[in-house]
Amino acid sequence: MLSTIAAAAGLFVATNIDDIVVLTVLFAVAARGTSQLRGWQIVAGQYLGLITLIAVSFLAALGLTIVPDDWVGLLGLIPLAIGVLALARTLRGKGDDDEAESALKAVGLLGVAGITIANGGDNIAIYTPVFRTMSTADTLITIAVFLVLLAAWCLLARAIGTNEKVTEALEKVEHWLVPVVFIGLGVFILFESGTLAHIASLL
């Protein structure tokens, strides 16, 4: 049992280390109080996204392919769309505080869940063979470890994001930070997954 817990913890950290950056940005923005985004939405969205990834991986382990591997990268369109929308709202505001602050209205509970799923789309390819080779008991233990560690992940990101120095720095770049992070994340997912190369090969 201890070996299963240790393996699950290692797997979670290895596949979610990049999520800390996105979580920190979201918690920092929520701490500023300049958007409708709230801490509970970030946590709930993360859990909804992770549970979805686990469910898809588990079904794939049973031999049910929901999304072909070549097209998983299209999930990158979710953060890309949110980033572009936020950027458009910021540019349209032309420095107006109310308009610029509204740039984050696109990111609520479902937005966070979508970003989590998109950012973890490649995790499905890793979780699937793991679940396929595990016993039912080990699978349940692994899922439980994932859920517990996600809480620790959120606490860590919140601690960083609500740090006084971080929030002071955020105040200077707040209107541009989230659009840049999300657009960058979306583009990275599309390229890293090989989906764009697959689309190009079909043309």
* Residue-wise pLDDT tens digits, 19-57: 888 888 888 877 766 567 788 888 998 999 999 989 988
Residue 203 to residue 193: CA distance in whole angstroms: 18
pLDDT of residue 73: 66
User: Which of 140, 174, 134, 152 has its CA nearest to residue 19?
Assistant: 152
Residue 140 to residue 161: CA distance in whole angstroms: 31
Residue ranges per structural domain of the chain: 2-202
Q: For residue 42, what are its two tokens?
A: 């970030």
pLDDT of residue 15: 81
User: Comparing 12-16, 49-53, 64-68, 155-159, which segment has the lowest mean pLDDT?
Assistant: 64-68
CB 78 within 8 A of CB 117: yes
Angle at 35 between CA 30 and CA 41, to 5 degrees: 50
The residue with greater pLDDT, 169 or 59, is 59
Looking at the predicted structure, is the pLDDT value of residue 100 above 50? no
Looking at the predicted structure, is the pLDDT value of residue 202 above 60? yes
The residue with greater pLDDT, 193 or 45, is 45
Q: Which residues contact 202 (CB under 8 A, 6 or more apart)?
A: none
Q: For residue 88, what are its two tokens?
A: 């458009």
Confidence class for position 193, pLDDT limits 50, 70, 90: low
Looking at the predicted structure, is the pLDDT value of residue 131 above 80? yes
User: Comparing 9-23, 50-64, 155-169, 177-191, which segment has the lowest mean pLDDT?
Assistant: 177-191
Residue 10 to residue 32: CA distance in whole angstroms: 33
User: Which of 39, 38, 41, 47 has its CA nearest to residue 19?
Assistant: 47
Q: What percent of the chain has pLDDT over 90?
A: 12
Q: How many CA atoms lie within 13 A of 35 on its CB side?
A: 29
pLDDT of residue 65: 55
CB 32 within 8 A of CB 102: no
Mean of all residue pLDDT scores within the chain: 77
The residue with greater pLDDT, 199 or 43, is 43
pLDDT of residue 145: 94
Residue 163 to residue 149: CA distance in whole angstroms: 21
